[in-house]
Amino acid sequence: MVYLRAKKVKSDQYLYLVKSVWDSKKNTSKQEIVKYLGKSSEVVKDDLPPDYRNDPKILSGLAKYNPKDIKKREEASKNSKQQLFKKLTEGNIQGSIKIYEDYICIFNITDFFDKILKPVMYKIGDDWATGRISIATEHVASNVAQTLVKIIMDKVTGNANKKKILICVPLGEEHHLGCDVLETFLSLKGFKVYNMGTSMPTDSILSFIDNNKADVVFLSITLEDNLAAGQRLARKIKERFEIPIFVGGFAMQAHKIPKFDATVVIDSSLEQIPKMLKAA
């Protein structure tokens, strides 16, 4: 059985999706967390794992936590995604900035990256792969999205008092929007971030880690064709350094993912990343 559980911290409630699991040793059931969903008043249907988004009992439980606000958030998210897709594919940076500014007046930067920009870029990638948009349109949209992230980044200042994070891509990977988004978010959280978003030789990455004493490496892979290169890079880093390595990106949605000498991150929100870093 899977259901929602609320936990109150001070004056706020936070939601978890949990399931009951039978413990044969203790001859009783116990709860296991399927996913931490966030602040109850901010959780919407899209925050649920795909397998549970149409479960009537879960949706009913979700609706009791400020249902008017939930409906408002879902409508705002839907409209913002549609508008951002249009502006990006038109190459309209000013329109894209306006959508971002309007959205964070109600919500926050993390929500914009997680719930608006990420699904829109996934849709653009899918539409290009299936021939619904041209390669030229995909390039225009990606370039505008990268400019948008850089503009947001310029407004962000971090304390840089935590772990030093290196973000990189494997040799041959030319997509770095995910790197830029992660850089912005982690900088906002106060981490010192080195964003090596362009494809570089493995030896250069290893030298950079050594010279700058990076504490953690995030490896971003967008195209499935680059999974093998990412696998080799993770192995080389692991052989030389005793530091945590996380691998994520759109390629992690592939049906078959090779084994990495690293922690593979699939379908995790940005807000979960600081917790992963703390535990690393």
Which of these three, 14, 43, 65, is where a domain ends? Answer: 65
Residues 190 and 262 in one domain: yes
What local confidence, expressed as pLDDT, does residue 67 receive?
Answer: 61
For 211-255, write each residue's pLDDT tens digit.
999 999 999 999 999 999 999 999 999 999 999 999 999 898 877
Could you say which of 16, 48, 65 is where a domain stops? 65
Averaged pLDDT of the chain: 86
275 assigned to some structural domain:
yes
- Expressed as residue numbers, the domain containing 204 is 164-279
Greater pLDDT, 86 or 67: 86
Could you tell me if 170 and 270 lie in one domain? yes
Within 13 Å, how many C-alpha atoms sit on residue 162's CB side? 17
Residue 139 and residue 197 in one domain = no
Query: What is the rounded average pLDDT of the residues 32-48?
Result: 83
Q: Are residues 143 and 79 in the same domain?
A: yes
List the CATH number of the domain containing 145. 1.10.1240.10
Residue 159 lies inside a defined structural domain of this protein: no
Same domain, 213 and 140: no
Q: Residue 263, Cα to own-chain centre: how many angstroms?
A: 15
Q: Indicate the SS3 state at residue 32.
A: strand
CA 37 to CA 210: how far, in whole Å? 37
| Res 235: pLDDT | 95
Domain boundary among 84, 119, 154: 154
The CATH number of residue 173's host domain is 3.40.50.280
Distant-in-sequence contacts of 69-77, Cβ < 8 A, 24+ apart: 69/41, 69/42, 70/43, 70/44, 70/45, 73/42, 73/44, 73/107, 74/44, 74/45, 74/46, 76/103, 76/106, 76/107, 77/44, 77/46, 77/115, 77/116
Residues 172 and 124 in one domain: no
How many domains is the chain built from? 3
Structure letter (DSSP) for residue 42: G
